[in-house]
Amino acid sequence: MQDLTPFVLAAFIGVSPRIRQSGTSLAQRGLMSKMGRRALRKAFFMPALVALRFNPVLIEMKKRLLAAGKPKMTIVGAAMRKLVHLIYGVLKNKTPFEPHFAV
């Protein structure tokens, strides 16, 4: 059986990024893959919006992405994916969420 990783979980939910390119058209925007479970993806939308306002980890990510010129909905999609990764880490390590954890 394949080991479950946060990347596999994000792909299962459908919040992993997808690159669109064909031949010489390499400058297109990336999209959310939407290949996963629609209900799970919908369930992560509002929590991502709330987390972008109140979670210090996602607030820093939002500032960094805004400075890079990313569109707001791209930032929401990145927040959804980041939430999946954070939830995976909390459940795997069986420890409470620590927003100031130094990596």
Sorting pLDDT into bands at 50, 70 and 90, what band is 1? very low
Give the tens place of pLDDT for each residue, 52-89.
999 999 999 999 999 999 889 989 999 999 999 999 98
Lowest mean pLDDT segment, chosen from 2-6, 45-49, 51-55, 83-87: 2-6
Q: Is 97 helix (H, G, I), strand (E, B) or coil?
A: coil
Mean predicted confidence (pLDDT) in 33-50: 87
The pLDDT value recorded for residue 99 is 81
Structure tokens at 39: 């209900």
Contacts of 79 (CB under 8 A, 6+ apart): 48, 49, 51, 52, 58, 61, 62
Please report, for the chain, the start and end positions of each structural domain, with discontinuous segments joined by +: 6-17+31-92
30 pLDDT above the threshold of 80: no
